[in-house]
Amino acid sequence: MSILIDETTNVIVQGATGRDGSFHARQMVADGTKIVAGVTPGKGGQKLDDIPIYSSVQEAQQEHRVDVTVIFVPPKFATGAIKEAADAGVPLIICITEGMPVLEMVENYRYVKEKGLRLIGPNCPGLISPGKCKIGIMPYKIHKEGDIGVISRSGTLTYEVVYNLTVNGMGQSTCVGIGGDPIIGTTFTDLLELFEADPGTAGVVVIGEIGGEDEERAAAFVKEKMSKPVVAFISGRTAPPGKRMGHAGAIISGGKGTPQAKVAAFEDAGVKVADKPDEIPGLMKAALGR
């Protein structure tokens, strides 16, 4: 099985006629995703290949069942796109856009949450359930259908870890990139809870990085509520103190968010922490007794 998406998921693409939106919409279709519509204001009635384009999410909903929207629009339009999808009641909103202002995301988080919907991102690669559905920009060919869940703050590290899992015969149930910004819609803990409840997931890989305290909260959740084995990797351990490393959220402030604190929290929860990404498959096999 999988979490959040499967082979029945109907997807729309906001920003489908733009450079990035059109490229990745075509890639998602090629990888087996059911894209039922695209949305670009003022371009209703056009088509992207066989994908009908509508001027609003609401117009698309009048013609199609919409389970998920994926947003490929510039930062200055992203808040409007998120709120439009939320106003239309789309259950899962995935925002790929990078460079969104933090204060806008504070408001967007509250806006989506109060409507009982789920937001993943921004500044994320999306998610994939191999053999079922891919939404976002993850490279499909490195994935393999299986029973290992993957949650990551880093897109490229996700790909490296997934590749190592796949070549070691460990397929994935669902892989989710949650995004590297300071304010994101869905956290490690949110997804650990879903993976714990998913009968198709045997173990979970958590890929964290310096900055923030989300990994520490995830470790506490694992310690208290997870019955399935979890393996972790923390990037940025060699980052100079006070220096941002890559992602907007990857900065240590006030002594919090250090890699040492994150590793210690996971180890205290009984989670094996890999020193290098290619160690993860061996640690997971040992944890699962395979």
Q: Does 133 fall in a domain?
A: no
Residue where the block lists tokens 């714990």: 196
Those residues with Cβ within 8 angstroms of residue 85's Cβ, 6 or more apart along the chain or in another chain: 14, 57, 69, 71, 93
Q: Does 107 fall in a domain?
A: yes
Q: Are residues 170 and 271 in the same domain?
A: yes
> In a 3-state reduction of DSSP, which class is residue 148?
strand
Q: Are residues 254 and 172 in the same domain?
A: yes
Q: Does 57 fall in a domain?
A: yes
Q: Are residues 113 and 146 in the same domain?
A: no
Instruction: Give mean pLDDT in consecutive 10-residue pieces for the chain, a chain of 290 residues.
Output: 95 98 98 98 97 98 98 97 98 97 96 98 97 97 98 92 97 96 96 98 95 91 98 78 52 61 93 96 97
Q: Which of 24, 64, 143, 247 is catalytic?
A: 247
For residue 215, the one-letter residue type is E
- Number of domains, the chain: 2
Spatial distance between the Cα atoms of 59 and 137, rounded to a whole number of angstroms = 25
Q: Are residues 108 and 203 in the same domain?
A: no
Q: Are residues 17 and 94 in the same domain?
A: yes
Q: Does 127 fall in a domain?
A: no
Instruction: Report the CATH number that the domain containing residue 185 is assigned in CATH.
Output: 3.40.50.261
Which burial class, exposed, middle or buried, applies to 199 when counting CB atoms under 10 A from its CB (0-12, 13-18, 19+)?
Answer: exposed
Q: Does 80 fall in a domain?
A: yes
Q: Are residues 217 and 272 in the same domain?
A: yes
* Residue finishing a domain among 120, 148, 173: 120
Q: Are residues 85 and 149 in the same domain?
A: no
- Rounded to two decimals, the pTM is 0.94
Q: Are residues 144 and 110 in the same domain?
A: no
Q: Does 1 fall in a domain?
A: no
64 is catalytic: no
Q: Does 149 fall in a domain?
A: yes
What local confidence, expressed as pLDDT, does residue 210 receive? 82
Q: Are residues 147 and 279 in the same domain?
A: yes
Q: Are residues 229 and 91 in the same domain?
A: no
* Residue 64 structural domain: 10-120
Instruction: Report the CATH number that the domain containing residue 79 is assigned in CATH.
Output: 3.40.50.720
